[in-house]
Amino acid sequence: MRKKYLNILKEKCTRGSFEKLINLKNPKVEEFVASYTQHCNPDSVFIRSDSKDDAEYIRNRAIQLGEEKKLRISGHTVHFDGLHDQARDKAKTCYLLPEGETIGSDIKSIERGKGLREIHKILKSSMKGRQMYVCFFCLGPIKSPFSILAIQLTDSSYVAHSEHILIRDGYKQFKNMQNQEEFFRFVHSAGVLENNVSKDIDKRRIYIDLDENIVYTVNTQYAGNTIGLKKLAMRLAIKKASVEGWLTEHMFTMGVHGPNKRVTYFSGSFPSACGKTSTCMLEGETVVGDDIAYLRKIDGKIRAVNVERGIFGIIKDVNSKGDPSIYQALITPGEVIFSNVLVTDENQPYWIGKDGEVPIKGINYSGQWHIDKTDDSNVEITPSHKNARYTIRLSTLKNVDSHFNNPDGVEIKGIIYGGRDSDTSVPVEQSFDWVHGILTKGATIESETTSATLGEEGVRKFNLMANLDFLSIPLGKYIMNNVKFAEGVKSPPVIFSVNYFLKDKQGNYISGMKDKHVWLKWMELRINGDAGAIKTPTGYVPVYEDLKKLFKRVLHKDYSFEDYVNEFTLRVPENLAKIERIVKIYKTKVPDAPDILFKALTEQEKRLKDVQAKHGEYISPEKFL
């Protein structure tokens, strides 16, 4: 059989590529590459090692083939996805599961045999006329106990280029681990192209085979569907972590700088549009990672690494005032891919919220664009798509943490769960302990829809640990994995909740945009025993005097006691209503929801009703002193 595979590879590999593959001395890799070479039938196969020449070859191919176009600033390119290929396709993203097996009522799946037959039929000769790129990657730092090796097969030079920016190179890792049989695998084809974008969107598929640790994507170019090493790999890693006793989380990792050059590391989980990036990129702090974290128990401590080395971020509203580090990277020469932004007549990228005037015309994902342009449904086409993106290396940011590539990761001392609600949760609150934090903060995250979301504004969306879209194990099991994770840890991370979106009765935000920096600094002090707190039925809230000092030191502004009371008043009716909503969701949609969750919520409900009887429905924090 190996001889058959080698013959296939010899016939298709470009000059030097066959030798690079054989030098890995890994029959499992040879079998994987050869079998999909035969099935997808590319005209040729290019094996990418970790060399600069190989990376340059793919970058140049992206330009030559028109998948990317050069912009005015050196190293900057732009990529356009199709008009109807601008986001993750949740409807066509399915797990391939054995017949009768499910993960959860809202998690899409298809019978494994049926799914494999369908996806292989669509992939058959899908790469004919193009070159297949074989790329090797390492999820997590190199030579680390966190590392997971992976291979991406793709016929898109844009996808291969993007992953080179986002994920650490892994060819040498494969070479050093000969006969390594366990690795994540990804097969992607953009399918038939028309004007350089995927044509057969109706046949777009993203299928995830957990049994074989392989993801198939076809008839799409949008990075969220095609860059296997991001959220698709995350789904595989959640399953792997569950089996092996660690965690894969949709979390940033950052260093918060305290007194006397102290650095305290946090991980944080927020749904989209809830302040995740703006938190981990706060000026004066340092970022380890902005999106995905692996967490392991090592020597009695919980440590975390950034799975990636780059950022695939939403570019809307990134500007010099709100995101100075990122903005500087986006206007400085270097390797940057912009996607679905507007390109002006001066060959400069423009996006919604960028510094400067809105151009009157240019080219974007819809073709030639001008102000007031509409689509076939008479809906305005904005200069850049609301989900337009940038792809950069984290190392280009001035605020990257010095332990960004530490193979041992960083010790996590705080975990933050953020949501978006206008009337319930206080801006910052500490849980009573690890279990209370996981169950009443992480497992109860809600995010209200905004005016930028299709549909009704203000609708609360449940999003367990901000990870609901990516879970590959039953929800109840996932909750218990988190609950049990701190067992054996002498001093588990302190868990907090934050809410930057509390409003007054007139609908105005109570907190300022930059106030989150004060909440973060308070959390750092609290972990290290340098700040007090007031115990309430839902957790510990800050003492006014501590916040008053922090507002003056961090933001150089006064913080009144009236503001404090407005922000940290316990809103009993709204908290009781939230518990009722969450319990209903778990009882109706999560058959394996653990009893410990209902117990924690029932106990919190009782505490709230007890203080309601004593102090009323809206209780100032001073009442708890």
Active site residues: 274
Phi/psi for 447 (5° steps) reads: -135, 125
First to last CA, the chain: 75
Do residues 236 and 184 touch, judged by C-beta distance below 8 A?
A: yes
Residue 221 is encoded by which pair of tokens? 């170019």
Pairing, β 214-218 against β 184-189: parallel
Grouping H, G, I as helix, E, B as strand and the rest as coil, residue 90 is: coil
Rounded-to-integer distance, Cα 625 and Cα 83, Å: 57
* Cα angle value 33/37/43 (rounded, 5°): 135
| CA proximity to 334, closest of 306, 310, 352, 307 | 310
Do residues 455 and 536 touch, judged by C-beta distance below 8 A?
A: no
Annotate 418-457 with b (16+ C-beta within 10 A) or e (fewer). Answer: bbbbbbbbbbbbbbeebbbbbbbbbbbbbbbbeeebeeee
Q: Name residue 384's amino acid.
A: S
| Residue 409 CA from chain centroid, whole number | 18
Query: 270: buried, middle or exposed (CB in 10 Å: 19+, 13-18, 0-12)?
Result: buried
Q: Which long-range contacts (CB under 8 A, 24 or more apart) does 611-619 make?
A: 611/536, 611/537, 611/570, 611/572, 612/572, 612/576, 616/572, 617/571, 617/572, 617/573, 618/569, 618/570, 618/571, 618/572, 619/536, 619/569, 619/570, 619/572
Listing DSSP states for 597-614 in one string gives: HHHHHHHHHHHHHHHHHH
Do residues 519 and 498 touch, judged by C-beta distance below 8 A?
A: yes
Other beta carbons less than 10 A from residue 349's beta carbon: 26
Phi/psi for 295 (5° steps) reads: -120, 130
